[in-house]
């Protein structure tokens, strides 16, 4: 039994129409149907955060959202945020601080960090830790990641 649903949504500014299997989650839709491999499928049950993407401006777990439910939605992924330059400073700080080791968690970390800096432009280290607590880094490079986010927050506030 394979039951398909027609959806039309916007992905990184481009309108996309597809028929998807009802059980297809957003990350598989992005990776397998659209070829956008930047969002990673990790645990596939909402624990690890590697699949974090934006839906209608808010970060979500891509593995806990059905593509079928997103008719009319606006989805943004690491590819889109990279192309627009919106998070260039975060990406550069991650490189400068060596905050990406294997890199598997990095797209989700960047999306979550961007979300934090949008809602809380002057976070403390504790607030950075708290906001990123739902994103696992199994290389355990957390200090470097928090350093990178803190650096960008200070730079954006002219305190670099």
Partner 1 sequence: MKAAPFRYVRATSLAEAFRLWSHGGPEARLLAGGQSLLASLAFRLSEPSALIDISRVRELAGISQAGEAVRVGAGVTHAELGRNDLVRRHLPLLAEAVPLIAHPAIRNRGTVGGSLAYADPAAELPACAVALEAVVIARSAEAERRIPAARFFTGLYSTALQPDELIAAIEFPIARAGERSTILELARRSGDYAIAGVAARVKIAGSALIDPRFVFFGVGDRPVVAERAMAAIAGKQVLAETVAAAQAALGTELHPTADQHGSPEVRRHHARVLLGRALKRMAGLEEARAA
Q: Give the residues lining the site for partner 1 (CB under 8 A).
A: 1-3, 5, 21-23, 25, 28, 44-46, 49, 52, 55, 58-61, 63-66, 68-69, 71, 112, 115-116, 129-131, 133-135
Stated length of the chain: 160
Q: Residue 67 in contact with residue 26, Cβ under 8 Å? A: yes
Nearer to partner 1, 2 or 17 (CB): 2
Question: In angstroms, what is the minimal distance from the CB of 102 to partner 1?
Answer: 20
Structure tokens at 15: 């309108």
Of 97, 99, 128, 89, nearest to 112 (Cα)?
128
SS3 25: strand
Nearer to partner 1, 23 or 122 (CB): 23
Question: In angstroms, what is the minimal distance from the CB of 4 to partner 1?
Answer: 9
Gap between the Cα atoms of 157 and 26, Å rounded: 34
Question: In angstroms, what is the minimal distance from the CB of 122 to partner 1?
Answer: 17
Nearer to partner 1, 100 or 116 (CB): 116
Percent of the chain that is helix, strand, coil (3-state, to 5): 40, 20, 40
Nearer to partner 1, 28 or 79 (CB): 28
Question: In angstroms, what is the minimal distance from the CB of 8 to partner 1?
Answer: 14
Pairing of strands 14-21, 4-11: antiparallel
């Amino acid at each position: 039994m394979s039951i398909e649903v027609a959806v039309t949504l916007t992905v990184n500014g481009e309108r996309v129409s597809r028929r998807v299997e009802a059980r297809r989650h957003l990350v598989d839709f992005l990776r397998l149907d659209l070829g956008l491999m930047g969002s990673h499928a990790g645990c596939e049950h909402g624990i690890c955060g590697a699949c974090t993407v934006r839906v209608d401006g808010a970060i979500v777990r891509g593995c806990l959202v059905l593509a079928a439910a997103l008719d009319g939605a606006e989805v943004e992924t690491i590819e889109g945020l990279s192309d627009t330059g919106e998070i260039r400073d975060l990406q550069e700080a991650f490189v400068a601080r060596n905050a990406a080791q294997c890199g598997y968690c990095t797209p989700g970390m960047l999306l979550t960090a961007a979300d934090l800096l949008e809602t809380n432009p002057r976070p403390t280290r504790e607030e950075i830790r708290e906001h990123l607590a739902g994103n696992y880094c199994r290389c355990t490079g957390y200090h470097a990641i928090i350093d990178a986010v803190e650096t960008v927050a200070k730079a954006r506030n002219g305190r670099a």
